[in-house]
Amino acid sequence: MTSQRPVHKDAYMLILDAIDVGVYKPGDRLVESDLAERFGVSRTPIREALQRLETQALLARDGRSLIVASLDHSQLAELYVVRTELEGLAARLAAQHATDEEIRVLRDMVEGDRVLLNDPVALARTNKRFHKQIHLASHNRFLVQQLELVHRSMALLAHTSLAAEGRGAMALQEHDAIVVALEARDARGADLAIKNHISQAFTTRLKLDSEELDLGH
């Protein structure tokens, strides 16, 4: 008789997912005992996960405490430079290597998102899935890994640019342009369309950040 082994919970992924969905936001303090209780995991894997997240600069030291890191203006600009180039490469490769079914899924995503234009939180979730689908459609595992690292850092942004007035509708048009290029197997067009999409998102985010600075004075 064989005994079933308990399902192992990955403390690192549990904490990472919680940051990604906004349970823990930039500046929030993470306490070992609280995390262990929340996730039903012993403190040792929690401690190891926190050390790993600190090494990856997703957590920062505040005295003796660990807090969710935040990105300053320069770090944000650097992140978007890298993201733009990697996403452009993913779009080019997807135009060349994606199956017809993968492109059809992307088209269905765009059409399905039309009912979410007044729900920026839901749009932010579907936006992540849309980009992830393009990454997978590139059929390049090493590129997918690098983009996962970039998108982990995106979790350190306190709010979604899709919350800006009118941004949801614009983003949907931009997604549509990306899919049109992919449907045409137009690698250069897909590259330009996704880079324009990310540029517009970055511009919107900078405007939101500047408005917050104005409100703080």
Q: What is the pLDDT of residues 52-97, one digit of tens each?
A: 999 988 999 988 889 999 888 899 999 999 999 999 999 999 999 9
Question: In the chain, what are the domains?
Answer: 11-68 (1.10.10.10), 73-216 (1.20.120.530)
Q: In the numeric block, which tokens belong to residue 152?
A: 């982990």
CA distance linking residue 88 with residue 37, whole number of Å = 41
Q: Please give the model's pTM, rounded to 2 decimal places.
A: 0.81
Count of beta carbons in the 10 Å neighbourhood of residue 100: 8
Tell me the backbone φ, ψ of residue 139, rounded to 5 degrees: 55, 40
Residues in the chain: 217
